[in-house]
Every structure is written in structure tokens, then in C-alpha cells.
């Protein structure tokens, strides 16, 4: 975060807390068009008929789904394919392909022109070309990178026209990338003598309980003699250190300084203490420039037996996250990312892998504030592409610049522990003939030697044999739980973790009977159920997986058995737009992998991970739901995820006995050969190791209840599910009580009986009315096959639930009304500050 001030003050009385920021976000009053006007860059171009939009803005998400959008003909080696296949819905079946123009005006004073004026884009999707007052300023192809230009020489006093042309191509991505100015845009005015943007690097090379050494590397631009003032503010807002020294500048200068902090408050997962380093440049007592760097005091170590945070062995309980927010699209809203992270923290997550691109800068701020470890990832492609128009087209010209800018922008975040230079790179299969791994690794180390480098390898043996896995500091392996012990046996000095795990499919409140479990005989781990569900709705018993995937129980067991592995990152934390594997033809437009669906509602496996990962939680979750009329009189398996030692199942008062988890000493699926990963989907043995299972329960309407017992056999908890009555009303839950102007509020809408029990079969349409201090933004229901427009105020319920997003526009109360047939629901609880 950069702050500037122009007021005159004395050194002895300077207070950087009150230094006025000179950075202005340019979010409102943009004009947008999807048509490629050749003259739209010109200053006096008539854009009066264009759409008025607010940035961040995703131009594609408001349009209709259509499975003819971006049909891709491609061969996916990871799926075991030997020839190309057509894929629909891979990029979300939304029209992100095409050209978009954005235009706005910004007022500049004559005094501003005596300084430097910088235009910053946190991200623009993609192939951005920027113009100011009709003159070309510069371009940046990579849609996920932040970039800026010095636009001083293009400006004039008064109104100035900024125009941005973006262009997305067919087969540009493997998932929904979004389209447009989907992150913030800002202008910063600064003195000609100033601290360079992303020009500070704070590290903490020595830490004890008594003190910490804080080291600052600094880049300053300017000419002449100045005073450099630094002060450190502790997490409570108290100034604890101040230094002052004279400096002489002759162009661009690199400076450094050390500080001692006594009794440091460490940044940790549970106590994410943050400090501020405020750096100021003064001339004759006048403040010329100031720059605020947030940082944390923490140590990280990567040892053969594990990862250490502040000298404590810490296992990654991680998730991969794509960048979209489901119905809202790729437009970044800080409050929606906070919502996601709160859900993940509740599940027990302590780490995020940003897949497979640099995130919005605010996302890393939130990881810092919430105590979430982060892997910052640069690329999904190098020189060899996975899609026709992917990053491989840009790599040779832009990779060094993009990777460098990611590190310069993000290296002060204490949450970041590793820099990932690539994911499932195709060079694996050719043993990296151009030695790109070492090339990128060296770029990272030049800019930051305090963190580890990494990459995610799905072809473990190729990465190991070629030396790619050993070139990075810590190797990541995708979907290889059966060979961790063999990797350690053959490569005893290799440090590694599981960068992607899982691959089992499910949709919320979906259950398919009979429940069939694998017997490990299927090649490549393909589940017997993968293609059986014509409705595109796999169930929640974790017995359906993609060819390269497996049930979560398998990874949990392997991580326990191989405790030298640093942990894992499940694929994914939330479902996301695009990549609806294995439904590659016109059926689905979003993914099935996550424990939380695309609108933020939990699936059953959320509680599996919560029971294993959240050390502070008490979990007692039973499934399936108890509204299965087609199964009356038939046997079904009932499953309970729990933290309790024992559990007893009752159906309408009849006990089915007490169960415990049955963990084998050695997992059944471990490979005997490093080159022969054990195959297969879910087995009953894997399920019983992490859940309590009653295999032969006769379904009858009424009540299913589970009682949890401690080790002494004392009842400590119970939970139940009942067969609901007929739909009675719509229940609306607002997730927050207050929001700020411009923020998004989220409402969970459920159809319940007169006693408040969810009806999991209600799939009718509701109409949505928003009035008061907000406007309707989007809605969704977690159904990957639903193709209703996300931005229109009608929505089908899916298995009894839906989620509504509204965006505030003024101060006051928000009124939300929903109607579905004779059912109605209203809520006015959210207040806009």
C-alpha cells in the first residue's frame, strides 16, 4: 500500500499515521462496449451510448450460458487420452472470448503535472492495451498480473481520457478466466523523488523470544540530498522504533537498513500479528514521499521431516483456489474472498495454493490478516502449451517480467511461504530440454532468497528422473498418494508436499443408490460410477472420481502414514466456473470437486475435512438426508463424520449399534513400485477409516439420529435429520449484518417446512426483488448443470436452496423479497454504512 503527502511539517512532529494518501481508486464512471471500435482509443470518441459500469467488472458473467462458447478440441494427457476430444463448458460456457473497450475520464490539475502520475491495474483480462488522451501508453498480455505505467507525459490539465482495449481468444484457458477490468484500477500521484512502487522488501532473518532483526531493502528514485526516516508500528498501533539518516540520491538508488524489535509478536496461523514499516523521505524538514509496508515477523524452515513455522512443525491443511466467485464471476470483491476464507478456516484450512496464477493483491492481504499460509503461483504453461492460445504464446517475451513483478508486488506478505513457478508443466514429459526450471528458479532467488521455490508436478517420475523436482527447493506432487513412501526411499534428500489431491466428485444433497464401492481393480483409478449419472449429479459417498483422482480418505491415510510429507492441498476449496470433469459434452458448466459448492454451501465432505483438520471443532455430521421416498424399505449405508470416539445410530428410535473408526496400520493402496501408482476408487475400508458407517440401514421416513460418545462411553452430543413436511415458506439468512457502500451482501435462501426443516427436493423457480440501499447483482444454486442467466432476478432452487448476491449503492437498509409459487420470504436485516 502506497501513501503520499504534500503538507509541510517538521521532522520532530511528523506523524505518518495522518499522512494523506495520494492514491485514488478509479472504480466508477467507466464506459464499456463489447464492440471493437477502431477509433475507441481517441480522446474525443463518442461513447455516450456505451454501457455504464463499475470496476471491478466481468463482462462475460452477466451473459447467457451457451455450450457453443469456446468449444475446445484437445487431448488431456492427465486423463489418459491418446487423441483429442471436444470439450464444452471447459471455460464455463460463458462468452469471455472477444474484444472489450473501457473508457473513463480523470481530472488532473496543473500542479499534478509537476509530479509523477502512475496508472495501476491490479489485473486486466487480457491482452491489455492502454491509451491516454488518444496516445498509446503500453500493453500487458497476461491477464492475471498487476502492472502500471508512468503516464505523466501523456496528461494535460483538466479532464484526461483513459481507454483500455482487452482481447480474449478461443482456447485461451482451461477454466473460466473472466473478462474485462476485473480487478481494481488506481492512479497514484507522487513526487519526482519517491520510493519506487513495490520498492521495499522487509525480511526478518533473526528471531528470538527477546528480539527480532528486521531488515529493509529499499529502492528510491530521485536527485539530491534528503533525510530518510523509518519507523516501525507494532500490531497495537504503537511506534516502537524510529531511525533517521541522511541520503544522497543520483537517479535510482538501492539502500538498506536493519532494525531491532524487542519481544516480537510473531505472525502465526492463530495469531497473525502484523507490523507496519513507514518509510519517509524529507527535504529540509518537508515530507516529500512516504511508503507503508505491512509485514509480519515469522520464521519458516523446510526440513526433510516437515515444514516449520516459527520452529513448530506445521502440516499444510490446504486447498487450491481458482479466482472466480461463482455467480459473480471473476470480478474481485474483497468481502466475497473473506467469505470464502472464513468457510475454509472453519473447515480447518491453514493454507491456500492460488491456482494457477497470481491472485488479486487484496487476497494476500486477507491471508495475512487471517493467518492463512499461501503459495503464490505464476504459470500454468511455459513454452509448451496445454491449450491453443494459452500462456505459452507469451512465455518467451513476458515470463521474466511477469514472474519478477509477481515477486516484487507480493514479497512482503508474511502469508507467502513458497513461490510456485509452474503447474503440471508440459515440459515434464520432455524432461525440460531448455532447462526452464532452473531459469525461473534463478529469477525467483535473485529477488527473494528467504522463501522456497516450488512447482506442481503431475508426472512424478518424469519430474524426478529429469531433475526438475530437485531443481526447485520443495517439490509438489499432484495426485500421487500411493508413492510418497517410494519417493522418500529413492530420493531421500527430496523435500515435498502434495500440491493437488482428491478428485472425487459430488453435488450438494445428491445421493445415488445403490452405493457401489470400488475393489481397486480399475485402471488409472477410474471409478465404476464416473459416467453413470446422466443427470450430471454425482452423489456424496465419495465413490465417484475422475480418472486421475481418488476419494479424500486415501490422501488422509497417506499423509498420516508418511508424516514427512509437508501436507496437501485438495482440489479445490470451492467449486468454480469451468472444467466440469468428467462431463465434457454439453451438460455441465462448472466443477464438482470441492467440499463447498460454487455458491458457498457445504457438501457432506466439508464435515469430513472439518473433523480431521479443525482441531478446535466438535463435529457430528450424518448423511444422507432423510427424504428418500424411492428407498422406502430398502437398505442404504448411513455415514457419520465426527470428532467423537464412538457414535450410535438410531432410526425412529431403533438402534443400529455403536461404531468406531477402523484405521489400518498400513494403508491398503500403497504402491510396491515407484512407477506403478496403485489404482482404484473408494473402498469401504478407506471410508471406514475416517467415518463411522452403518452399511445396512433400512430406510423408513421419520427421524435418523446419531449420538456421539467420548472414550469413557459418556454421551456428549447428538444430531438428527428428519423427513420434512410439505414446503411451507422461504427462509432467508443474511450472512452479515452490516456492509459498506459498494460491497456485496450474500443471502442463503432455503425452502423449509412449517418446522423449519429443509426440503431437499424443492427445485422450483423463485423471483427476486431487491430495493432500498442495494441492487440485485447475481444468484446461483450450486447446480453445475443449471444454465439460467446468473445476472437475472429469477433462480431455480437446487435441492431446496439458492444464494442471492446484492451490491450496496447507498446508505440505508436493504430489502430483499423472494417468491416461489405460494411461498414467500423477506429479509431487511442488512444495513449499509
**Active-site amino acid positions:** 424, 500
Contact 715, 707 (CB under 8 A): yes
Q: CA 688 to CA 661: how far, in whole Å? A: 6
C-alpha to C-alpha distance for 469 and 495, rounded to whole angstroms? 9
Buried b (16+ CB within 10 A) or exposed e, 328-367: bbbbbbbbbbbbbbebbeebbbbbbbbbbbbbbbbbbbbb
Cα separation, 627 vs 761, whole angstroms: 8
Closest CA to 712 of 642, 646, 617: 646
Residues forming a β-bridge with 306? 303
Three-class SS state of 484: helix
Burial of 513: CB neighbours in 10 Å, binned 0-12, 13-18, 19+: middle
Angle between helices 334-347 and 361-370 (to 10 degrees): 40
Distance of CA 636 to the CA centre of its chain: 36
Dig out the grid coordinates for 351 from the structure: 493454507
Residue 390 CB-half CA count within 13 A:
22
- Quickly tell me which residue has 488506481 as its cell: 186
Instruction: Please choose, from the candidates 344, 340, 347, 341, the residue with its C-alpha nearest in 3D space to the C-alpha of residue 611.
Output: 347
The string of DSSP letters for 503-561 reads BB---TT---SS-----S-SGGG--TTTTT-TTS---SSS--B-TT-B-HHHHHHHHHH
In the numeric block, the cell 494459452 is attached to 390
Largest CA distance in the chain: 88
Distance from chain centroid for Cα 626: 33
Residues whose CB is less than 8 angstroms from the CB of residue 430 and which lie 6 or more positions away in sequence, other chains included: 384
User: What contacts 381, CB < 8 A, 6 or more positions away?
Assistant: 387, 390, 391, 392, 395, 422, 425, 426
Pairing relationship of beta strands 474-478 and 496-502 according to DSSP bridges: parallel
Closest listed residue to residue 809, CA positions, set 780, 772, 782, 781: 772
Distances (CA, A) of 691 to 11, 285, 317, 663: 64, 67, 19, 10
List CB contacts of 783: < 8 A, sequence separation 6 or more.
507, 537, 796, 798, 799
Give phi and psi for 724, each to the nearest 5.
-75, 155
Tell me if 565 sits within 8 A of 556, measured CB to CB. Answer: no
Residue 761: strand, helix, or coil: coil
Separation of alpha carbons 626 and 758, rounded Å: 10
Amino acid at each position: 500500500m502506497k501513501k503520499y503527502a504534500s503538507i509541510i511539517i517538521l521532522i520532530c512532529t511528523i506523524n505518518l499515521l495522518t499522512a494523506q494518501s495520494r492514491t485514488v481508486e478509479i472504480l466508477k464512471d467507466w464506459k464499456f462496449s463489447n464492440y471493437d471500435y477502431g477509433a475507441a482509443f481517441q480522446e474525443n470518441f463518442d461513447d455516450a451510448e456505451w454501457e455504464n459500469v463499475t470496476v471491478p467488472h466481468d463482462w462475460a458473467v452477466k451473459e447467457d450460458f451457451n455450450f457453443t462458447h469456446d468449444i475446445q478440441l484437445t487431448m488431456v494427457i492427465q486423463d489418459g487420452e491418446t487423441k483429442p476430444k471436444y470439450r464444452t463448458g471447459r471455460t464455463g460456457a460463458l462468452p469471455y472470448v472477444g474484444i472489450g473497450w473501457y473508457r473513463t475520464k480523470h481530472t488532473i490539475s496543473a500542479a499534478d503535472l509537476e509530479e509523477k502520475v502512475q496508472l495501476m491495474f491490479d489485473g486486466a483480462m487480457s491482452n491489455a492495451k492502454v491509451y491516454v488522451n488518444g496516445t498509446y501508453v503500453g500493453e500487458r498480455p497476461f491477464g492475471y498480473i498487476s502492472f502500471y505505467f508512468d503516464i505523466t507525459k501523456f496528461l494535460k490539465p483538466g479532464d484526461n481520457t483513459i481507454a483500455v482495449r482487452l482481447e480474449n481468444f478461443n482456447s485461451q484457458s482451461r477454466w473460466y478466466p473472466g473478462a474485462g477490468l476485473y480487478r481494481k484500477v488506481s492512479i497514484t500521484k507522487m513526487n519526482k523523488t519517491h520510493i519506487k512502487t513495490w520498492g521495499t522488501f522487509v525480511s526478518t532473518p533473526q528471531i528470538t523470544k527477546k528480539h527480532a532483526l528486521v531488515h529493509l531493502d529499499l529502492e528510491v528514485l530521485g536527485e539530491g540530498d534528503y533525510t530518510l526516516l523509518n519507523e516501525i508500528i507494532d500490531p497495537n498501533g504503537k511506534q516502537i522504533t524510529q531511525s533517521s539518516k541522511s541520503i544522497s540520491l543520483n537517479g535510482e538508488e538501492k539502500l538498506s537498513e536493519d532494525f531491532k524489535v524487542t519481544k516480537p509478536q510473531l505472525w502465526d496461523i492463530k495469531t497473525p500479528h502484523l507490523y507496519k514499516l513507514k518509510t519517509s523521505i524529507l527535504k529540509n524538514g518537508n515530507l516529500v514521499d512516504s511508503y507503508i509496508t505491512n509485514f509480519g515477523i515469522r520464521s519458516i524452515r523446510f526440513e526433510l521431516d516437515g515444514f516449520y513455522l516459527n520452529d513448530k512443525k506445521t502440516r499444510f491443511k490446504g486447498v487450491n483456489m481458482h479466482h472466480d466467485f461463482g455467480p459473480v464471476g471473476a470480478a474481485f470483491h474483497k468481502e466475497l474472498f473473506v467469505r470464502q476464507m472464513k468457510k475454509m478456516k472453519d473447515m480447518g484450512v491453514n493454507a491456500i495454493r492460488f491456482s494457477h496464477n497470481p491472485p488479486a493483491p487484496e487476497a494476500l492481504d486477507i491471508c495475512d490478516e487471517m493467518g492463512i499460509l499461501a503459495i503464490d503461483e505464476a504459470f500454468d504453461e511455459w513454452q509448451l502449451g496445454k491449450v491453443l492460445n494459452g500462456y505459452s504464446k507469451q512465455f518467451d517475451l513476458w515470463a521474466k517480467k511477469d514472474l519478477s513483478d509477481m515477486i516484487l508486488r507480493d514479497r512482503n506478505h508474511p502469508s507467502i511461504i513458497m513461490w510456485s513457478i509452474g503447474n503440471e508443466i508440459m515440459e515434464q514429459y520432455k524432461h525440460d530440454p531448455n532447462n526452464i526450471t532452473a531459469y525461473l528458479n534463478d529469477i525467483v532467488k535473485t529477488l527473494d532468497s528467504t522463501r522456497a521455490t516450488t512447482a506442481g508436478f503431475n508426472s512424478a517420475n518424469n519430474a524426478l528422473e529429469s531433475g526438475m523436482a530437485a531443481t526447485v527447493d520443495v517439490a509438489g506432487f499432484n495426485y500421487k498418494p500411493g508413492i510418497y513412501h517410494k519417493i522418500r526411499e529413492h530420493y531421500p534428500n527430496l523435500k515435498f508436499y502434495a500440491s493437488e489431491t482428491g478428485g472425487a466428485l459430488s453435488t450438494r444433497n445428491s445421493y445415488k443408490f445403490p452405493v457401489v464401492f470400488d475393489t481397486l481393480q480399475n485402471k488409472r483409478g477410474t471409478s465404476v460410477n464416473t459416467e453413470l449419472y446422466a443427470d450430471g449429479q454425482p452423489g456424496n459417498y465419495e465413490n465417484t472420481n475422475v480418472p486421475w483422482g481418488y476419494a479424500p480418505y486415501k490422501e488422509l491415510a497417506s499423509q498420516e502414514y508418511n508424516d514427512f510429507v509437508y501436507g496437501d492441498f485438495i482440489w479445490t476449496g470451492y467449486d468454480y466456473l469451468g472444467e466440469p470433469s468428467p462431463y465434457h459434452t454439453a451438460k455441465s458448466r462448472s466443477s464438482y470437486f470441492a467440499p463447498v459448492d460454487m455458491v458457498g454451501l457445504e457438501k457432506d465432505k466439508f464435515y469430513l475435512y472439518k473433523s480431521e483438520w479443525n482441531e478446535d471443532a466438535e463435529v457430528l455430521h450424518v448423511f444422507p438426508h432423510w427424504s428418500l421416498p424411492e428407498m422406502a424399505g430398502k437398505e442404504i449405508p448411513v455415514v457419520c463424520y465426527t470428532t467423537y470416539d464412538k457414535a450410535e445410530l438410531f432410526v425412529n428410535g431403533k438402534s443400529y449399534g455403536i461404531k468406531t473408526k477402523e484405521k489400518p496400520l498400513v494403508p491398503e493402496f500403497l504402491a510396491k513400485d515407484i512407477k506403478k501408482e496403485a489404482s482404484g476408487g473408494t473402498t469401504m475400508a478407506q471410508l471406514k477409516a475416517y467415518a463411522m458407517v452403518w452399511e445396512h440401514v433400512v430406510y423408513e421416513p421419520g427421524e435418523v439420529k446419531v449420538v456421539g460418545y467420548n472414550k469413557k462411553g459418556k454421551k456428549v452430543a447428538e444430531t438428527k435429520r428428519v423427513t420434512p413436511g410439505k414446503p411451507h415458506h422461504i427462509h432467508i439468512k443474511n450472512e452479515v449484518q452490516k456492509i459498506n457502500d459498494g460491497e456485496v451482501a450474500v443471502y442463503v435462501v432455503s425452502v423449509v417446512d412449517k418446522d423449519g426443516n429443509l426440503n431437499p427436493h424443492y427445485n422450483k423457480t423463485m423471483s427476486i426483488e431487491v430495493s432500498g440501499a442495494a441492487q440485485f447483482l447475481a444468484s446461483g444454486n450450486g447446480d453445475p448443470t443449471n444454465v439460467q442467466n446468473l445476472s437475472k432476478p429469477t433462480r431455480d432452487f437446487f435441492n431446496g436452496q439458492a444464494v442471492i448476491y446484492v451490491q450496496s449503492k447507498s446508505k440505508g437498509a436493504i430489502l430483499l423479497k423472494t417468491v416461489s409459487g405460494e411461498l414467500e420470504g423477506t429479509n431487511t436485516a442488512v444495513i449499509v454504512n
